[in-house]
Amino acid sequence: MKSERLKITENRQITADIYKMCLLGAEKPLPGNFLELTIPGCFLGRPFGVAGYADGITEIYYRVVGEGTMKMTGMKEGEEVDALTGLGNSFDTNGVKKPLIVSGGLGFAPLKFLAESFVEKGITPLFVAGFKSRSDIVEFLKESGFSPVITTDDGTAGFHGSAVDYIKEKVPEFDRYYACGPMPMLKGMAAAFKGGQLSLEARMGCGFGACMGCSIMTTAGAKRVCKEGPVFSSEEVIFGD
């Protein structure tokens, strides 16, 4: 956890509503960590999962959904932003030899960083990335030297169905899975498969454990998404409706 001033080195539109931003100057995060960006004119920080890190540059992908992310699209290369970095816990990769990685939509962001850390260790994970439609696909792993299995809800590219549908149908072998995406998808994964790690989201007041604004219920009591999470075991999360 650190408070740092970062310099924007890239801020580029990738699909109709998704942008990639690169920020120079943060200490090396762990896969699973997130950061909070201070957007001028917005009172609260905006949390984003770290999607990659190399040469001091942190990579994030963001979807334009509201005021803050809209303002982010107008930020220029060379501009500086304040950020709280290295927030949250990280994925547990200890002893994992056959990782399965499953994303829905922008959920690929923290998982991309995780996949790259596996590749660094000489392990090639199976990465199944689900998108709504062909035009929503982000080719996020191009540089990492291996390609994910793509699925689309409407069948316009890759496997026809969600990433979870794909796994239920193909039943690939794995010793641990990692998932990030919309709540219904995570709930579906947790119900179908044991032994997973889920990365969750919640509206946050602080992002570093002070306000209890993000607490979810788990089998071991209340836990903060920003502090004990965002990565939880698929067995501990108690899903609401």
Ligand X SMILES: Cc1cc2nc3c(=O)[nH]c(=O)nc-3n(C[C@H](O)[C@H](O)[C@H](O)COP(=O)(O)OP(=O)(O)OC[C@H]3O[C@@H](n4cnc5c(N)ncnc54)[C@H](O)[C@@H]3O)c2cc1C
**Which of these segments, 136-144, 168-176, 183-191, 198-206, binds ligand FES (CB under 6 A)?**
198-206
- Of 14, 44, 75, 123, the one binding ligand X by CB under 6 A: 44
Q: Is the distance from CB of 230 to CB of 216 less than 8 angstroms? A: no
Subset of residues 153 to 212 that bind ligand FMN, contact rule: CB under 6 A: 205, 211
- Of 47, 99, 158, 196, the one binding ligand X by CB under 6 A: 47
- Tell me whether residue 1 or residue 192 sits nearer to another protein (CB atom): 1
User: Burial, 143: exposed, middle or buried (Cβ in 10 Å; 0-12, 13-18, 19+)?
Assistant: exposed
User: Burial, 32: exposed, middle or buried (Cβ in 10 Å; 0-12, 13-18, 19+)?
Assistant: buried
- Of 101, 137, 204, 231, the one binding another protein by CB under 8 A: 204
Residues 76-95 vs another protein: string with x where CB under 8 A? --------x-----------
Q: Pairing relation of β-strands 18-24 and 34-37?
A: unpaired
- Of 96, 214, 231, 237, the one binding ligand FES by CB under 6 A: 214
> Which option in another protein, ligand FMN, ligand FES, none does residue 75 bind, with CB closer than 5 to 8 A by kind?
none
> Helix (H, G, I), strand (E, B), or coil: what is residue 42?
coil
**Residues 144, 152: Cα–Cα separation, whole Å:** 22
**Closest approach of Cβ 209 to another protein, in Å?**
5
Alpha-carbon Rg for the chain, nearest whole angstrom, is 17
> Which option in ligand X, ligand FES, ligand FMN, none does residue 49 bind, with CB closer than 5 to 8 A by kind?
ligand X
Structure token digits, residue 119: 């590749």
- Tell me whether residue 102 or residue 198 sits nearer to ligand FES (CB atom): 198
Strands in the chain per DSSP E: 2-13, 18-24, 34-37, 46-49, 52-54, 57-63, 80-87, 99-104, 126-131, 149-152, 159-160, 176-180, 196-199, 215-218, 221-224, 231-233
**Closest approach of Cβ 3 to another protein, in Å?**
7
- Provide the binding-site residues for ligand FES, judged by CB under 6 A: 204-207, 209-214, 224, 226
